[in-house]
Structure 1
Amino acid sequence: MLKGKTIVLGISGGIAAYKAATVCSRLVQTGANVRVIMTESATKFIAPLTLQTLSRHTVYTDTFDEFDPSVVAHINVADSADLVVIAPATANVLAKMAHGIGDDMLSTTLLATTAPILIAPAMNVHMYDHPAVAHNMALLAERGARFVEPGTGLLACGYVGKGRLAEPEDIVQAVKQWFEQSQDLAGKQVIVTAGGTVERLDPVRFLTNDSSGKMGFALAEAAANRGANVTLIAARTSAEPIQGVNIVHVESAEQMLQAVLERYDSADLVIKAAAVADYRPVARANHKIKKSEEKLVIELERTTDILKTLGEKKKHQFLVGFAAETEQVAHYAMDKLVRKHCDLIVANDVSQEGAGFNVDTNIVQLFGEEGLLEAMPMLRKREVADRLMSIITQRMQAKAAAAKGAAE
């Protein structure tokens, strides 16, 4: 699995730096090409020669140590990485990463790389709980970094609590899981819809909703991370663009319907995370509507139910819908799953704090034909997307195997 993969191992200055030697050794044993960068502080805890011997490569400690005149070291290392692992990651390194500081070999390489980053924090329990550290970790998570959570136990400082570096075996397993996940949807065609549709009254006014599109964008990114060819059909949204994802911009429910149907036959997975308008104005004014009477009556008509349409046309596609509710979440979710012929429904109570629109967190429940599959606590939308995508891929594989068995 890791054979031929280049993993850049960044080691920062904490007592747990000695564990990085085991991480390096285990990664090399899996067939990975490990290139080590150490901060100056890290060299106070473990000698670079140890890591050089284990990795069988030069260990970088200084930005100005250029061993190969044909390349710039930190750019070359950054470009070579399939994955960057920071273990241990001190509070200082987390702060540098979060705020874009590049003042040594490790931090400049991190600024230059486009590879995914896996972070294993290690520090005193009070440092780990400090608001600044929590903020920096949250900021890094929003940008796509993943974390191997520290363990709880006796720390070198004498305190007992959370902050101890995860065991080397756990870090290596996290690396393996990342590469496993990156192949789950290899070659699959995935469509994700996101954002709130816009139904215009006139050239300057429209009907819409509070959807930010962040959940749909996180799901599109999670699918792309697993090797899928992802088309993101986005209406009104405040989410940031995603590298490697084809984005199709639409405005109205009708435009979104057509954009999905044009691609539906070739799709393997469709995730309908968009907040689509149920109604639109019967007539749209060509010019700005002027004030006249005390009351303005607008006649609305139903839009086409996109999810229901896709469910009726479904052949080989795996269809996932979303249900934003304010009451009886389970009842409405299961009703929607059956009526619209979905394989899964992701439901949330948008009246709950941290689960509604325009926030970075969500609280979701996942339903299948057998009922509730998983109820997740409040998590950041990136983590929700990652967990959902793991379950979706497992269910897709099981469905495909069952279909194959029935055909035989």
Structure 2
Amino acid sequence: MRTFILSVQHLLAMYAGAILVPIIVGTSLKFSTEEIAFLVTVDIFMCGVATFLQVWKGTGTGLPIVLGCTFTAVAPMILIGQTKGISDLYGSLFLSGILVVLIAPFFSYLVKLFPPVVTGSVVTIIGINLMPVAMNYLAGGEGAKDYGDGKNILLGLITLVIILVIQRFTTGFLKSIAILIGLVLGTVIAAWFGIVDVKQVGTAHWFSLPHPFRFAHFSFDFGATLVFFIVALVSLIESTGVYHALSEITGKQLERKDFRKGYTAEGLAIILGAIFNAFPYTAYSQNVGLVSLSGAKKNKVIYGMVILLVICGCIPKLGALANMIPLPVLGGAMIAMFGMVMAYGVSILGTSDFKNQNNLLVIAISVGLGAGISAVPDAFKSLGDHFSWLTQNGIVIGTISAILLNFFFNGIKYQQKQEDMK
């Protein structure tokens, strides 16, 4: 019974992230309520599969790591889905997953190209790209008849306040599910306003197995593949921190081959996610805290959560239930979650040497270009469609700028010196 309860706790800790990504992406790409419900359930199912790949020693690190949707892919998925189409979106995700598998044996060496000044800049740019999505949802959804209505703003702010109060006045497990509680209570309050649609739950099926290529088969785009590959690299760097943290918590020493298997497992998760028209996955840090808090360091707890995820991923009614959450409520929660992405980027930058003027220039130019192009995507439109993958995507141009500028100013030797100092 204790193992089951701990498995449920892990499920709840990652559930908000698991359902928010498909709802946000599906809504932004104008999917129907039935299609969004499918996205939610297939994503939950694939979170279970991805986590199994990471936890099982045969394919992953063998640590109690939970893989879930990465928020860093949300803005690129929306942009590529709207401009290139669903086929290019999933085909490019598939290719990026293959690239991750191919570089997995060498990634520990490539990390030198992504010191904190680069990684922090990229994550900050991604956070900046996400915030307009949150604000649009807070106002009721772009194109909605009641866009900007005071009722929408009030609902979103109430949801945000609930999350902040839980974060401030609770500890342990409750604190780890603050977003989920905020979404539930925000939806209950929204029901009093009469803006919650419960009909979709009644029409949804009780059981359905996920199947591949539900929305589209693959087509490929170089620019989109590059975007998702960059996002995957950032996720791998974040996951490396999770590997180290859980290695210390569990007392299991990791060797280079374990890191290789961990990176490979994440690449396989991206590939399978694309095949089933789901999402890219990364290690969830919130579940690391739960392992430390509960003291349950055995993989059987995570295996129990995997079984629960797979079962939940076969029940479309649960997907429809999650899709009931009104957009303003989602917007309130997204301000907290996406703001944390941006704050995380700033915290990474905080480990850089700000006394080094070169680092300040790297951050200034890369973040400036990334944020600027995101705000004015047509600034370089005259350069033509052949370069649109670079000139109209803030994440790509910001990342490439950060890598090149860091190499120009600091070089590999400086990065190695910084690592040796640690």
TM-score under structure 2 length normalisation: 0.25
Q: Which has the higher helix share?
A: 2
Q: Which has the higher strand share?
A: 1
TM-score under structure 1 length normalisation: 0.26
